[in-house]
Amino acid sequence: MRAWPTSKSSVEANEMRGITPYLQVRNTAEVIASYEPVFGAKEVRARLVAPDGTCMNAEIEMEGTRLMLADRFYGDRARRVRDPFGHHWIIATRLREVAEEEMVAAFEAMFENT
């Protein structure tokens, strides 16, 4: 497997390197609650919750592996593709590091006029 060239500083700053699992699930809060006792999952970022209560993004860590859970929202530049077997893949790259407060504010701004 050939690695893409990256700057050393961006890789060191990025907690999500390599292949990062990303699950699109329903009832994100319930999924996380079920993963906590079974896998020892811990939330590592604030959940992004829409005004209707839908959890749009959550990030957990299990045994040193980060896993993103979401109904639909993700913050990096990403593209969903379908392979010949019908599996959907989300391929993403982090464009820049964003402070948690900035990410939450940008998320909330999406719903200001709804």
One-letter amino acid at 94 equals R
What single-letter DSSP state applies at residue 101?
H
Number of domains composing the chain? 1
Give the model confidence (pLDDT) of 79-113 as tens digits: 666 777 777 777 776 667 778 888 888 778 878 87
One-letter amino acid at 69 equals L
| Structural domain contains residue 9 | no
Domain of residue 64, residue span: 18-106
User: Does pTM surpass 0.75?
Assistant: no
| Structural domain contains residue 12 | no
Give the model confidence (pLDDT) of 1-45 as tens digits: 334 344 444 434 455 566 667 777 778 888 889 889 988 989 988
Residues in the chain: 114
What are the tokens at 90? 């989300």
| Structural domain contains residue 4 | no
C-alpha of 34 from chain center: 18
| Structural domain contains residue 65 | yes
Give the model confidence (pLDDT) of 51-64 as tens digits: 888 777 788 888 88
| CATH code of the domain in which 89 resides | 3.30.720.120
| Structural domain contains residue 31 | yes
pLDDT score, position 42: 92
| Structural domain contains residue 113 | no
